[in-house]
Amino acid sequence: DVKVTQSSRYLVKRTGEKVFLECVQDMDHENMFWYRQDPGLGLRLIYFSYDVKMKEKGDIPEGYSVSREKKERFSLILESASTNQTSMYLCASSAGTIQETQYFGPGTRLLVL
Amino acid sequence: GESVGLHLPTLSVQEGDNSIINCAYSNSASDYFIWYKQESGKGPQFIIDIRSNMDKRQGQRVTVLLNKTVKHLSLQIAATQPGDSAVYFCAENFQGAQKLVFGQGTRLTINP
């Protein structure tokens, strides 16, 4: 079974803090993704990566950056957290081409005060 | 828990009945489709996928139907159980695209 893990289930941070969300997958997948999920807005893609040290902007990259130093790990960074970044953050991975199923982690619910 | 203002289509079915969840997609060039199940507080879980060269695919208690003519996808769940309560959403992709496009989802509730 594919396993995607995220470092935290719940996080509470203060405005202006730098926040790191970590994601690890154990299936040697090439592609990794970060989404945020908000009521009424569905899943929105923040960034994705199709190889080590490669990254591509998704639909809503503003206020976020990512890092992929190793194939199995994809980090999402909030340089200066803001209250509008309070959300559920989901990491996913997929093998090979984009036309492969994306497998999701359990999510991190982030609250920015 | 639920969030105020979350307006998802809702389907309520009796336990043991069959459920049919529908999804309309917009891109006629889409050729790969996935159904996900998301339980409260959890990440989306893969259920079943289908490629555009097929119009039906069956899994365990689930069937996905694809009608390319009207750009419609459906998920059928046989003998619905309490554990099927969740939000179900479809995703589409077309060849060459770098990302999946996700639908908003349908909330399935099971009546005992």
pLDDT in tens, B56-99: 999 999 999 999 999 999 999 999 999 999 999 999 987 667 67
Lowest mean pLDDT among A21-35, A39-53, A61-75, B11-25: A39-53
Sheet holding A19-25, edge to edge: A4-6, A19-25, A73-78, A64-70
How do residues B33-67 score in pLDDT, each as one tens digit? 999 999 988 899 999 999 999 999 999 999 999 99
In the block, tokens 């479809």 appear at B90
Q: To 10 degrees, the CA torsion angle through A50, A60, B43, B111?
A: -140
Residue A72: how many other CB atoms lie within 10 Å? 16
Give B 27-46 residues with CB within 8 A of chain A: 31-32, 34, 36, 41-46
- From B7, which residue of chain A is nearest by alpha-carbon distance? A40
Gap between the Cα atoms of A53 and A71, Å rounded: 9
Which of B6, B100, B104, B107 to mutate: most A Cβ within 10 Å?
Answer: B100
B52 close to A (CB below 8 A):
no
- Confidence category of residue B22, pLDDT binned at 50, 70, 90: very high
Give the mean model confidence (pLDDT) for residues A60-67. Answer: 97
Lowest mean pLDDT among A58-62, A81-85, A97-101, B24-28: A97-101
